[in-house]
């Protein structure tokens, strides 16, 4: 059996903006620390994403000790600095897909910066610690919660899986198209589809369900422009019913001890 190791770690602090590559990350029940804890919403409190605004991919986020820094890669505007302690705003209800939960506003300056950058009126909100958004009860194993991610706290994807897809594409694509949190080397293509319980280093995870993909993987993260691939090719061999699946959603197991809260590049992955 081929040994498997954690080869890449990504977080996406602001939902649908560019991701950050890390060498290690602290874990929480609702996802990697700082992952999708901020989100842009419209005037009705409904989430915004690259599905409507592909240019969101061009806003790069960096994580510092006490703040996020957002850069518009197109240039022409100063960077935006967002304190990590974004809890002093007003509480508002927000909607992600069919879920509703409470968020807090960040600042008028942040709202203005993003509205100008995207050419679309929006507000930046933060999910505080006392806001809980349950995982779909059809797939939950207990009181499991998620951040502003689409549905589950973690997404794991194998390098072999992407390699298999790229061999079918005229132009290979990068891993970030699929916005995983955890990427592993070793093993065979699509084996993560069957994972039910696994460990990354000392941390236990529970595979919930394969990830049904939307059109975001068709958006080039370097340009913000959409195309037909890879969805067109994936539909030829990864469609089941009305959905196309790629990667495995996962939850942080409820029995993790306080010692098992970090993962690092090179951590061994074991199936249980």
Pick the CATH number of 4-271 from 2.70.50.60, 3.40.50.970, 2.40.33.20, 3.90.79.10: 2.40.33.20
56/17 Cα distance (integer angstroms)? 5
Task: Note the pLDDT of residue 254.
Answer: 67
DSSP readout, 161-192? HHHHHHTTSSS---GGGG--SEEEESS-TTGG
| pLDDT interval class at 261 (50, 70, 90) | confident
Mean pLDDT (whole number) for 76-83 = 94
Place of tokens 């994972």: 195
Name the least confident of 34-38, 52-56, 83-87.
Answer: 83-87
| pLDDT interval class at 258 (50, 70, 90) | low
Tokens representing 179 are 């916005």
Place of tokens 């006490």: 66
Cβ–Cβ < 8 Å for 151, 136: yes
Element (H, E) at 198: strand 197-200
- Picking from 103, 94, 118, the residue whose alpha carbon sits closest to that of residue 17 is 118
| pLDDT interval class at 123 (50, 70, 90) | very high
Mean pLDDT (whole number) for 229-235 = 97
Mean pLDDT (whole number) for 54-83 = 95
Count Cα atoms within 13 angstroms, Cβ side, for 118. Answer: 26
Task: Note the pLDDT of residue 259.
Answer: 57
| pLDDT interval class at 204 (50, 70, 90) | very high
Strand partners, 126: 38, 104
- Count the Cβ atoms, other than its own, within 10 Å of residue 65: 5
């Amino acid at each position: 059996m081929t040994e498997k190791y954690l080869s890449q770690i990504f977080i996406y602090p602001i939902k649908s903006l560019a991701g950050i590559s890390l060498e290690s990350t602290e874990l929480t029940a609702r996802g990697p620390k700082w992952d999708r804890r901020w989100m842009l919403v419209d005037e009705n409190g409904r989430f915004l994403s690259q599905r409507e605004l592909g240019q969101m991919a061009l806003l790069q986020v960096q994580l510092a000790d006490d703040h996020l820094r957002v850069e518009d890669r197109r240039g022409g505007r100063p960077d935006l600095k967002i304190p990590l302690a974004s809890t002093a705003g007003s509480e508002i209800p927000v909607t992600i897909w069919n879920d509703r939960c409470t968020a807090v506003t960040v600042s008028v300056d942040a709202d203005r910066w993003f509205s100008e950058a995207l050419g679309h009126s929006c507000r930046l909100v933060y999910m505080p610690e006392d806001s809980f958004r349950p995982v779909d009860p059809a797939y939950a194993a207990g009181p499991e919660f998620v951040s502003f991610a689409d549905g589950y706290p973690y997404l794991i994807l194998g390098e072999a899986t992407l390699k298999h897809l790229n061999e079918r594409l005229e132009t290979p694509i990068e891993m970030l198209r699929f916005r995983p949190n955890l990427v592993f080397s070793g093993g065979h293509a699509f084996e993560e589809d069957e994972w039910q319980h696994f460990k990354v280093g000392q941390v236990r995870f529970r595979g919930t369900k394969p990830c049904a993909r939307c059109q975001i993987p068709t958006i080039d993260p370097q340009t913000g422009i959409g195309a037909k691939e890879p969805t067109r090719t994936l539909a030829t061999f990864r469609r089941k019913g009305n959905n196309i699946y790629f990667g495995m959603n996962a939850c942080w197991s409820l029995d993790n001890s306080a010692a098992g809260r970090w993962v690092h590049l090179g951590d061994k992955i074991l199936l249980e």
